[in-house]
Amino acid sequence: MISIRHLRYFAALAQHRHFGRAADACAISQPALSLQIKDLEEVLGAQLVERDRRQIRLTGLGEAFAGRAQHILRAVDELADLARASSPSLGGRLRIGMIPTVAPYLLPAVIRRLAERFPAVDLRPREAVTGKLTEDLISGSLDVAVMALPVSEPSLQDHPLFDEEFVLVRAPADRHKPPPSAESLGAMRLLLLEEGHCFRDQALAFCDMAPGLSQDPMEGSSLATLVRMVGAGMGVTLIPEMAVASETSAVEVSIARLAEPRPRRSIGLVWRKTNPLSEHFVQIGEIVRQEHDLLRHHRGAARIPDAQLRGGPGISDDLAGHA
Amino acid sequence: MISIRHLRYFAALAQHRHFGRAADACAISQPALSLQIKDLEEVLGAQLVERDRRQIRLTGLGEAFAGRAQHILRAVDELADLARASSPSLGGRLRIGMIPTVAPYLLPAVIRRLAERFPAVDLRPREAVTGKLTEDLISGSLDVAVMALPVSEPSLQDHPLFDEEFVLVRAPADRHKPPPSAESLGAMRLLLLEEGHCFRDQALAFCDMAPGLSQDPMEGSSLATLVRMVGAGMGVTLIPEMAVASETSAVEVSIARLAEPRPRRSIGLVWRKTNPLSEHFVQIGEIVRQEHDLLRHHRGAARIPDAQLRGGPGISDDLAGHA
DNA sequence: TAAAAATACTCCATAGGTATTTTAT
DNA sequence: ATAAAATACCTATGGAGTATTTTTA
């Protein structure tokens, strides 16, 4: 009879394509894995693995089997989640992901709040770009993630939390220039995050620049780096409003709202539609939203005058970043 | 860790709502089942079953769990089918269903042909009405079925095999009356199969009679019974063309084609879309089709003159049934 | 020859059986 | 009082470990 153990071991083998490493991943010895795979092949009466090469290969059946096995393993994991969901307070392991343009500003506070709210939960936060997060959600190696919406994966469920605007970071000397428009941004030396960050794509889309085309913008791997590059006079950049307080407090730059239409993005929570923990995820979303609100109303570390940050488009759209 | 064993046992318990009978169904002792259920509840850290009553009940979690478990068990069974499908010739257990208005005429020959064509297969034929067959297909307790199309279940795949007409069975004295129309049938005393047979619904639909309305037709539980009731002068009935040879050879009745538009039905093979054996099912369908062709061209036991059976609507539409 | 998988063997966790007790109606 | 599930206890299967051999690139 086929067992879940068979499926777990075979899925690991299909992933690693190596008995030793797959065995490690399963936390068993290599002979134990070999025997289980052999046993599975006997139960099925068919070969799954070609063992003659140095690097093993799966047969056609093996590939098909691996795909279905993965699917079943996810469903079985969700059975356990179902039991967790039936408890009024969440417990057990919770793997939560966040994109890099949100995580530095929200993750610490969110983790703190979650630990308070769900003391029994074993939190496993993770920071990664959207592509990696969606991949992990789908494969079942992540439970829930905070990212920019929309997500196009049909197997994923999204839950919008808040919208936020992008603001321009430029040299302090530019402080009194008028708010730039999308087109005028194209003419500036725009510093962007490296490939893979959704924020990069959103910024490019706003500037109406085909990705990678036009002037081939200079890249940084974090918003903190970009802001420092601006401070060094290397150009301008866009950052999400949420990042203003912490990223500009130690750097000599000025912050300006852009002219209408302003760039903005929607941040939301995402999970597998079949995940039974959705009720709890909605509660988690509420916590994330609250922490974002706190940040916007500068109860955080850095102080930016409210009148400026929230100023209407008619008056000074220029915000002071200061050391 | 959750095992497939847990799921199988719990699914049986959810089905039988009784530890003893569920244990029997799993071919284990009652204490063994009790222990596994208890263990499963411990693994999940939540209760699945309420044991305080004489008849056990599932908790809300238990019900949800049972549904998902069933789903997983089907997927696991399909893993085994996947391996079977990879073999050039079909082997293992094959559970094939057929509706009662087809089975008597085709099932024996089809079973014989299948046993020749797939010697390694362990054939489990079953006769049941459409509702039961679709239910069993969906639940995974049946692999493939021959029934009238269309089937509306989105999880099922159909594969049309052939169309066939319905013919009228009436008293021998009516032999030379003109072919009746759908409306005139309404005025006759129409004998039909009992509730649940798709053929009954098809006949009623043709006569444009709301099911169970109008004259409340007399019922029989098989076509053989209906034909004999006609022979006893109790009314008229409709039977599928396929049934003419064997059902009318021993009874004094006459067979007549109806006036256009003639009633007809489409017979096809049906299986779960996710079943990996579809390639083999297509071959099985070919065998069913061939056997139907043989029957139509009366290479079967009874002889009915071809000119009559296939006669155009203008000439004698009356066919001789004879003892 | 060196890395990787298979084989040999030993051990122990656990699924399952029978006998019996507890529980609830 | 009786049916049903839980408990006790024993056995045997088989999963996993270590040590070793075989295989192949």
* 8 Å CB contact of B80 and A44: yes
Q: Give yes or no: residues B258 and B177 share one domain.
A: yes
Contact between residue A253 and residue A169 where contact means Cβ atoms under 8 Å apart: yes
Q: What percent of chain A has pLDDT over 90?
A: 42
- Return the C-alpha torsion angle B280, B285, B286, B289, nearest 10: 170
- Is A303 a member of any domain? no
pLDDT at B314 over 60: no
* Nucleotides of strand D under 7 angstroms from a protein beta carbon: 4-8, 15-19, 23-25
Question: Quick one: pLDDT at residue B215?
Answer: 60
Q: Verify that B41 and B136 share a domain, yes or no.
A: no
Question: What is the pLDDT at residue B281?
Answer: 94
A111: in domain: yes
The arithmetic mean of pLDDT across residues B147-164, rounded, is: 93
Q: Of A42, A62, A85, which closes a domain? A: A85
Q: How many domains does chain B have?
A: 3
Query: Is A33 within the bounds of a domain?
Result: yes
- Are A114 and A191 contained in the same domain? no
Measured distance CA(A234)–CA(A170) in Å, rounded: 9
- B151 lies in the same domain as B190: no
Question: What's the pLDDT at A301?
Answer: 37
For residues A186 and A272, membership in a common domain is answered with no
Say whether pLDDT at B212 is over 60: no
CA pair distance B49, B51, nearest whole angstrom: 6
On average, the pLDDT of chain B sits at 84
Check whether B59 has a pLDDT greater than 60. Answer: yes
Inform me whether the pLDDT recorded for A22 exceeds 80. yes
Using only C-alpha atoms, chain B has a radius of gyration, in whole angstroms, of 24
Burial B69-108 (b: 16+ CB within 10 A, else e): bbbbbbbbebbbbbbbbbeeebebebbbbbbbbbbbbbbe
Q: What percentage of chain B exceeds 90 in pLDDT?
A: 44
Strand A49-50 and strand B190-193: pairing? unpaired
Question: Which residue range(s) make up the domain with B139?
Answer: 92-162+267-296
User: What is the model's pLDDT at position A266?
Assistant: 95
| Residue with the two structure tokens 């062709």 | B293
Residues A235 and A212: their CA atoms lie apart, in Å, by: 17
Instruction: Report d(CA B145, CA B198) in Å as an integer.
Output: 14
Q: Examine the domain organization and report whether A205 and A316 are in the same domain.
A: yes
With beta carbons under 8 A apart, name residues in chain A contacting B87.
45-46
What is the rounded average pLDDT of the residues A20-29? Answer: 91
| pLDDT reported for residue A202 | 86
If asked whether residues B112 and B247 sit together in one domain, one would say no
Residues 6+ apart with CB under 8 A from A284: A96, A114, A144, A269
In a domain, A270, yes or no: yes
pLDDT in tens, A27-78: 999 999 999 999 899 889 888 988 876 678 888 889 999 999 999 999 999 9
Residue of B69, B76, B91 lying closest to A2 (CB–CB): B76
CATH of the domain at A78: 1.10.10.10
- First-to-last alpha carbon distance for chain B, in angstroms, is 68
User: Is residue A99 assigned to a domain?
Assistant: yes
Model pLDDT, residue B58: 87
Residue nearest to nucleotide C2 (CA to C1'): A54
- Minimal Cα–Cα distance from A114 to chain B, Å? 21
Does residue A292 lie within any of the structural domains? yes
Same domain, B56 and B125: no
Mean pLDDT over residues B294-322, rounded?
44
More confidently predicted of B92 and B313 = B92
pLDDT band of A304, cuts 50, 70, 90? very low
**What is the pLDDT at residue A302?**
41
Q: Which residues contact B21 (CB under 8 A, 6 or more apart)?
A: none
Question: For residue A242, what is the domain's CATH number?
Answer: 3.40.190.10
A114-130 per-position pLDDT tens digit: 999 999 899 999 999 99
Q: Is the pLDDT of residue A316 over 60?
A: no
Q: What average pLDDT does the segment A132-157 reach?
A: 91
Q: Closest residue of B to A81, CA-based?
A: B44
Residues A147 and A284 grouped into a single domain: yes
Find the mean pLDDT for residues B255-277.
89
In this structure, the answer to whether residues B250 and B175 fall within a common structural domain is yes
Residues B224 and B273 grouped into a single domain:
no
Residues with Cβ within 8 Å of A226's Cβ and at least 6 positions away in sequence, in order, are A169, A191, A192, A193, A220, A237, A239
Higher confidence at residue B284 or residue A320?
B284
Residue A260 belongs to some domain of the structure? yes
Q: Which residues of A261-296 are buried (b: 16+ CB within 10 A; e: fewer)?
A: ebbebebbbbbbeebbbbebbeebbebbbebbeebb
Per residue in A161-188, pLDDT (tens digit) is: 999 999 999 988 888 888 777 777 767 7
B150 and B280 inside one domain:
yes
| B75 vs A71, A87, A276: nearest CB | A71
DSSP string, B187-225: HS-EEEEPTT-HHHHHHHHHTT--TT-TT--EEESSHHH
Q: Could A64 and B276 be called an inter-chain contact, meaning their C-beta atoms sit closer than 8 Å?
A: yes
Give me the pLDDT at residue A245, please.
86
Residue B82 has its nearest CB partner, among A65, A80, A86, at A65
Query: Is A302 a domain residue?
Result: no
